[in-house]
A and B are shown apart, each in its own frame.
Chain A
Amino acid sequence: MKVCDIIEKLGLTVFSGEQGLDREITGGYTSDLLSDVMGNSEEGQVWITLQTHKNVMAVASLKDVAAIIIVKGFQPEEGTINQSNDEDIPLLGTDMEAFEVSGRLYELLNN
């Protein structure tokens, strides 16, 4: 499954990083602790978080995640958007809480 597929199926907003929409998704990781994501996420996962600042992109890029979903309707900061475009890692958004969007993504990826 690709990033563009989950956007449609989960009704996600695309903030930036459109060039990366054909990235392949291998799984998901839900966490708001940057060191946890740094230590435990894997390449190709979709990272679900409420963090909106630029360091999110640094971690995402170093770990080669497929995309980031920002939950609860939070808006990414401008620096985050710019780096997402530079790195071609899509920055997505949803009004859902982390629990719900994680569950729905899990279901999509495992069916």
Chain B
Amino acid sequence: MEFKYDVEGGNFAKAGHAASAVKKVLKQLNVNPKVIKRVVVALYEGEVNVVAHAFKGRIIADIDPSRIYIKIEDQGPGIPDIDLAMQVGYSTASSKVREMGFGAGMGLPNMKKNADKLQISSNVGKGTVVELTTYFNS
């Protein structure tokens, strides 16, 4: 099963729509609630990153009986130093975004903690691709 969601850069009112939709699908499939929680945390953080940093993005969620694979692809500034971006507390978010309680430098670490596999590739000035895989019986 494959699901696609568009993400609009800067539109915080819609942040979380993909995570919410995926949560409903996984619930219907009777996936272990603990696994659903992990998937949803990782996906929400990825969604917020696109909203906070990119112009636009697309999320593809591919679900089979053993796992969910999520690809978050955006057109945006890219990440010059991925290792640095992975550090807890490091953030390039604007002050406006921080005032909303985002941009604490916890997004990517949360994604890493809550996915079985996390792969990030980025082209500075073009965009970023984040791939998350989580197994249902992990």
Contacts and interface: CB of A to CB of B under 8 A. Distances in A.
Interface residues of B, number: 23
Interface of B: 12-13, 15-16, 19-20, 23, 37, 40-41, 44-45, 48, 100-102, 104, 106-107, 109-110, 113-114
Interface residues of A, number: 20
Interface of chain B: mostly helix, strand, loop or mixed: helix
Contacts, number: 63
Given A38-B44, A51-B100, A59 B16 contact: yes
A55 B41 contact: no
A27 to B, nearest CB: 16
A35 B102 contact: yes
Contacts of A53: 12, 100
26 contacts: A32-B101, A33-B104, A34-B48, A34-B100, A34-B104, A35-B45, A35-B102, A38-B106, A39-B41, A39-B114, A49-B101, A51-B100, A51-B101, A54-B13, A55-B16, A58-B15, A58-B16, A58-B19, A58-B20, A61-B16, A61-B20, A62-B19, A62-B20, A62-B41, A63-B37, A79-B13
